[in-house]
Structure formats: C-alpha cells, structure tokens
Structure 1
C-alpha cells in the first residue's frame, strides 16, 4: 500500500518557490493578490455591515452560515494571504515571532478548513430551508437542525487545530526562511492514518460534496420551481440558491485543480503536477477568499444598489414644487 508522504499530507503545501519560476511571475502574482485584497476588504466590511445592522437580515436563518463564512474568509484574506504573499516575495517570514508563526499556522489550517466545512453545511442546509422548512419551524427543531450543526461546522476544525498548534506537547522549531515558519510540530509524531483523515475529511471530501449538493439543489429547484412559484417564499428561495451557487462555484473552480493533484499524488504518483503545484496551483486556493464577498453581494440586489450609491455618491435631485416658489 502506498502511503502519503508526511510533508505533503495534512495539506502541507510546499510553497518553496521552484527555481524555474521567474521573479517576474512572483511579482505579478503579488500585485494581483494585493489588488484583490485592497478591493475585497471594503466589500467584506460593507456586506457584513448590511447583514449585521439590519435586524431582518441578521435574524434570517440562511444568513447565519454566510456570516461565519465571511468572518473566516476575511481572516484568511488579511492574515494568511498577506503573510504567504510577503513570504513569496521576500523569501522570509515578515515580522517573525513565535506568536505570529503559531497564529499563521492556526489561520492557515483551522480557519481555512473551517470555511470549507461551513460551505459544506451551507450546501446541505439550503436543502432544508428550501424544501424541508418544517424542520426549522419550531424553536426546538431550529436548535436541532440549524444552530447545533452551525456551531459544530464552525468550531470543529478551529478547535482541533487550536489544540494541535497551541496545546499539543511538542517542540516547534521556528524558521523565518520557511513558509509558515516550518511544519506543524505535531506532524512528527502523528500516526499515518491521521494524515489521510485530515486531508480527506477536512478538504477533499467537503469540496467534492459542496459541488454535489449544490448541483442537486439547483436541479431540484428547477424541477420544482412551478410549485415554489405558487408559494410566497419563491423569491427568497431563488436568492438563497443563487447565493449558494455563486459562493460554491468560487471554491469548486479554484480548489478542484489542487484536489485532483492531491488525489493523484496520494494514489502512488507523487511527481504528478509537481512542477505546477507551487506556486501556480497551490496559491489558487486563496482566490475564494477574495471572491466570496462579491458573490454574496451579487446575490442580493438591494445590497448592490446601496453599494453603487455609496461608491458614486449619487445625490438625489431636489424637486422644488410650484408652491415652494410662490411662498
């Protein structure tokens, strides 16, 4: 039986830049991600403000998982992506310190995996909110089928990696010339089954299931839209499905190439895709954190209109009535 190499398991992305990769490409990539961050951050803040400031949007069940996805992706954007691109450009860890290294590792694993877990729950919960609303009509059922799963998918990987990174008894050798200051120290003593469990349960399977559940949801919606049109929730259901479709596509498109390489390499072909894995393919997994707020924005027409007014400072014309002139 072929075993997965430890330096590749647990999604230990090898971000050591290949010598064949030109400095020009690294600079171009850094500039593109920097521009993505600059424009995405205000979009994050605006979308979060709109959802949290309005009581109806804040209390809507379908927005709860979206709030958590936005939070986790935002942390990944401003911490993990910033440190990764700075390292790629300078070949050293910026602001090197043990607490920074541990925080970087925690966000890169616990928070990033957490956003993928939340995407999986969102793709499942949409089926409940659209086609099985009876499961969330009472407070007891909402607790069982909404709040408890939301808490689990939100906290499972952050809790697991908080323990593995900050509490697990092992010696961490920090290196400012290595991505994320070096490998996680628990990897040296963890059993081989955990590596398979980690990458399959936390990454490969969830992304594939997001694609499956999202596709099934769209097909069910198209098949039953005539029945849903007769219901008062038609417009809300359509918005929820559009929202999930836009967000899930960002994960599927940019994570699927990496997943294909992961599956092939772990199947006994460790050299497959090695030359394009880093930095071309491995850095694509950071793109969803940039796209997510725009995907949510586009799924909410009112939000889009308010953002347009905010950006262009449109002023409403003052209409002077004849009575005002006479007075």
Structure 2
C-alpha cells in the first residue's frame, strides 16, 4: 500500500512540476468561456444543416456533419471532464468506467476526427476533379457512402475494443489528467499499428 501511495505522490509531484504556467483558475475559465459558445455554434450549424433539405442531402456536407458530431462529443464530454479535473485536482468519481469513457472520447473521438478529416480532404478532391464518379447513385454509394460507413464503423469498433475488450489490465492515475492517458493497447505492437 505504501509503495502505491509513494508512486501516486511521485506522479502528483511530477505532474505539478510539468504543469503549464497558467493557473488552474485561469485555465478553467478560459476553457469554459470558449467551450460554451463552441457548443452553441456547433448545435446551430447542425440544426441549420438538418433543417435545410438541400444542405442535408448534399454529398459534400456529410463528412462535415460527421466531423461536427465527433467534435460535439468532445465538447460535451471531454472538456467537462477536464474542467472537473481542474476543480478537484483528481478524477471525480475515481472509477475505471469514467476513465475508459474519458479515454474513448479524448483519444478515440479525436483520432476518429483526424481520420475523417483525412477522408474529407480526399473526398473533396474527388468531388472537385472527378465529379462524374458521384454523379450516379451507384457511384455515390461506392465512392461516398461506403467509405464513410466503413470509417465510422472502424473508429467505433476499434476504440470500443481497445478500451473495453482488449485483454489487458489498464492502470488509471486518478490524480493525473486523462487518468494518466496511457491505455495498455498502445503498448501492443499489433494494436499500436492500427491506432
């Protein structure tokens, strides 16, 4: 028990030494003041896209809508968890399920957003220079809908398996941001390749 406590104290000390120079109070208010308008803007944009049939059915908007939804998950879960950590100096409540959810949103949704952004750039190239590929229903299904469906399924299946089903025991640092943010699947040579 004392080894575990000394390990936690060492982790706290190293975190305190590496913390950025902006005070926790300032970080809290900066994050909160930017997160609330960001959530409102995201919801307004999503509402406008979903209300207008032309915008909703346009192929070029589908990737952006998915990016906004992933970003909204980060804004609604990850940022409040971090704000809670700033206030309490630890993860509250300190449970493995909270840490797994935080890792899933912080790592999984962020990496998923990067994957979707790469696909969006590639798809934009197709829409501009090879628009005939998506001019038919079959072309849209093959070039647009199937890749998006595959990427969304890959993101969710991979990260749910990585955080909940991977056969290893994760260790959580409840006194460190993001529960020490180092899931065990990252140390596996095969899983690390696919991340």
TM-score w.r.t. structure 1 length? Answer: 0.51
Change (3 A) 1:20 1:107: closer
Alignment of 1:284-303 (within 5 A): none
State the shift of 1:22 in Å: 6.4
In structure 2, the residue matched to 1:127 is 125
Stretches of structure 1 that go unaligned for 5 or more consecutive residues are 1-15, 203-327
Change (3 A) 1:185 1:22: closer
Deviations 1:23-62, CA, capped at 9 Å, x for gaps: 7533222211110111111111111111112211111001
One of 155, 162, 165 as aligned partner of 1:164 = 162
Deviations 1:208-250, CA, capped at 9 Å, x for gaps: xxxxxxxxxxxxxxxxxxxxxxxxxxxxxxxxxxxxxxxxxxx
In structure 2, the residue matched to 1:267 is none
Distance 1:125 1:70 in 2: 17
Distance 1:40 1:75 in 2: 12
Change (3 A) 1:84 1:102: same
One of 140, 143, 146 as aligned partner of 1:145 = 143
Distance 2:143 2:186 in 1: 35
State the shift of 1:133 in Å: 0.8
**Which structure has the bigger radius of gyration?**
1
In structure 1, the residue matched to 2:175 is 177
In structure 2, the residue matched to 1:95 is 93
Distance 2:113 2:141 in 1: 21
Q: How many residues align?
A: 181
State the shift of 1:88 in Å: 3.7
Distance 1:62 1:133 in 2: 11
Determine which structure has the larger helix proportion and give its number. Answer: 2
Q: Secondary structure at 1:171's aligned position in 2?
A: coil
In structure 1, the residue matched to 2:6 is none
In structure 1, the residue matched to 2:3 is none
Preserved CA contact (<8 Å) 1:114 1:155: no
State the shift of 1:186 in Å: 2.9
State the shift of 1:64 in Å: 0.6
Stretches of structure 2 that go unaligned for 5 or more consecutive residues are 1-13
TM-score w.r.t. structure 2 length? Answer: 0.82
Preserved CA contact (<8 Å) 2:134 2:143: yes
In structure 2, the residue matched to 1:45 is 43
Q: Secondary structure at 2:23's aligned position in 1?
A: helix
